Amino acid sequence: VRRVTLCDLDPQMTQLAAENPFFRGLNRDALNDNERVKVVEAAVSPGKSYTVFSKNDKYLWRGGYDSVATVHVVNMDAARFVERISGMYDVIIVDFPDPNAPDLAKLYSKTFYEHLRKKLSRDGLMIQQSTSPYHAREVFLSIGKTMRDAGLSTVPLKDNVPSFGEWGWWIAGRAENYSPGRIKKALRGIKNIAVETRYLTAPLIRANLVFPRDALNDDDIRVNTLGNSVIYHYYLNAWQNE
């Protein structure tokens, strides 16, 4: 990894990550050095890059820190961000709140995913937080169907998160370069994870691809657009019935 762009609407959230002792411990002070992290408040083009140095002993080299990435923090609405940001990304990680309000529904729209697709490199992959495939099945399926309608090939994943229960994600690549089968084959082919993990294992990745019979049938599911915000209504219906 040579460059990371972090987009968050709320500057207080990124400030919390930079100042709170607990979060500083988790992120190894990655956002706590003003000389190495560029915070962009009103623009999309970040300007000068700053380098973040790893404080993990594994990266120590000749008594100093080994440069691992440049980080740009952009505090702005994600929909505006993807419309305006330049360049391509090899990995896009989307971790929005659930679409529990009309303003959030736009971040799960076909238009939004079309913009994301244009920012994804030819061989790049993205992953989308997609609420619960069990408790909010229609929401989960609408996200995947909307991504496919925007020109992405998708593969669903699920896992049991202790604080949330059964939770889901969609991993995707550009449809002209990836098929669902190619993505699944790559995930199933993982034998070892190159970085240290506290939870994730290669067998668990393979298990996360397995869904119950008919759980992914989306024949009656609609694509979410800026005009219909159908995902918001799916969400309200799902959680009100819980």
Task: Give pLDDT, residue 33.
Answer: 59
Contact 39, 14 (CB under 8 A): yes
- Known catalytic residues? 95
Task: Give pLDDT, residue 40.
Answer: 52
pLDDT digits (tens, 9 = 90+) for 171-201: 999 999 999 999 999 999 999 998 888 899 9
Question: What is the average pLDDT value for the chain, to the nearest integer?
Answer: 85
Q: What is the pTM of this model?
A: 0.86
List of domains in the chain:
1-76 (no CATH), 88-242 (3.40.50.150)
Task: Give pLDDT, residue 86.
Answer: 82
pLDDT digits (tens, 9 = 90+) for 47-82: 334 344 444 434 333 334 445 567 788 888 999 999
Contact 98, 104 (CB under 8 A): yes
Listed residue (182, 185, 2, 152) closest to 89, CA to CA: 2
Question: Tokens 């989307």, residue?
Answer: 94
Count Cβ atoms within 10 A of the Cβ of residue 121 and give its class: 0-12 exposed, 13-18 middle, 19 or more buried: middle
Task: Give pLDDT, residue 67.
Answer: 53
